[in-house]
């Protein structure tokens, strides 16, 4: 997805939410935030990846505009040293949506979708499952793409000593592998589950090695 396609999707999402005001200033702010220098993975490339994944499944949900806006907003605030990125992203989204006079019910649903990307619970609602799955879909891509992702994540957390990072990363991957399924929706599970489990198992093996061959 290029900048033009991203812009068209945001404009359409804005219209479908019946948001007041011009969407361009909001999109510019979004793109500036997603382009911050410390973002080695959680950047515009990741945003476009999520949006593309969601476009393939948007017909499954009743209110796709809410799902897409939540995707645009889900990492609009991102600091790898912070533990409240999702909450702060929700605050940003609610401010923007309230200023645009988007109805309260839609604002609340979007806020809830953004919070779901904390990946700390298993929601029953398909919209949340799809957004969570799109956010994790990189786990099920080719080994080369997945290895590049791991390298970028490590660079984002370069402030952590190697041993501390490796221990924390191992906990995250083990938690995902313990799920009945990494991907919550059937659409993503059918496409990515097997490869994701293989990628995660191989990374855990590297984390246990002394060399950490991908720089972990």
Q: What is the pTM of this model?
A: 0.93
Q: How far is CA 165 from CA 122, 149, 172, in A?
A: 25, 15, 11
Q: Distance (Å, rounded) from C-alpha 183 to C-alpha 196? A: 9
Q: Are 68 and 58 in contact (CB under 8 A)?
A: yes
Domains of the chain: 3-137 (1.10.3210), 140-208 (no CATH)
Instruction: Specify the pLDDT at position 161.
Output: 95
pLDDT by residue for the chain (216 residues), tens only, comes to 777 899 999 999 999 999 999 999 999 999 999 999 999 999 999 999 999 999 999 999 999 999 999 999 999 999 999 989 999 999 999 999 999 999 999 999 999 999 999 988 889 999 999 999 999 999 999 999 999 999 999 999 999 999 999 999 999 999 999 999 999 999 999 999 999 999 999 999 988 885 545 555
- DSSP calls for 100-150: TT--HHHHHHHHHHHHHTT--S--SSHHHHHHHHHHHGGGGS-HHHHHHHH
Instruction: Specify the pLDDT at position 216.
Output: 57
């Amino acid at each position: 997805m290029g900048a033009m396609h991203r812009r068209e999707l945001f404009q359409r999402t804005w219209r479908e939410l019946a948001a007041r005001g011009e969407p361009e200033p909001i999109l510019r702010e979004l793109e500036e935030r997603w382009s911050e220098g410390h973002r080695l993975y959680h950047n515009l490339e990741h945003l476009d990846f999520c949006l593309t994944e969601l476009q393939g499944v948007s017909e499954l949900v009743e209110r796709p505009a809410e799902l897409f806006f939540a995707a645009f907003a889900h990492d609009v605030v991102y600091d790898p040293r912070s533990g409240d990125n999702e909450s702060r992203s929700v605050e940003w989204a609610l401010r923007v949506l309230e200023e645009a006079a988007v109805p309260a019910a839609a604002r609340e649903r979007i806020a809830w979708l953004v919070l779901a990307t904390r990946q700390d619970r298993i929601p029953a609602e398909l919209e949340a499952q799809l957004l969570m799955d799109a956010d994790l879909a990189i786990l099920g891509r080719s080994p080369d793409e997945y290895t590049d992702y791991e390298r970028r994540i490590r660079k984002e957390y370069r402030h952590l000593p190697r041993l501390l990072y490796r221990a924390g990363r191992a906990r995250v991957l083990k938690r995902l592998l313990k799920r009945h399924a990494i991907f919550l929706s059937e659409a993503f599970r059918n496409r990515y589950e097997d490869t994701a489990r293989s990628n995660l198992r191989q990374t855990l093996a590297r984390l246990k090695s002394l060399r950490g061959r991908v720089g972990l």
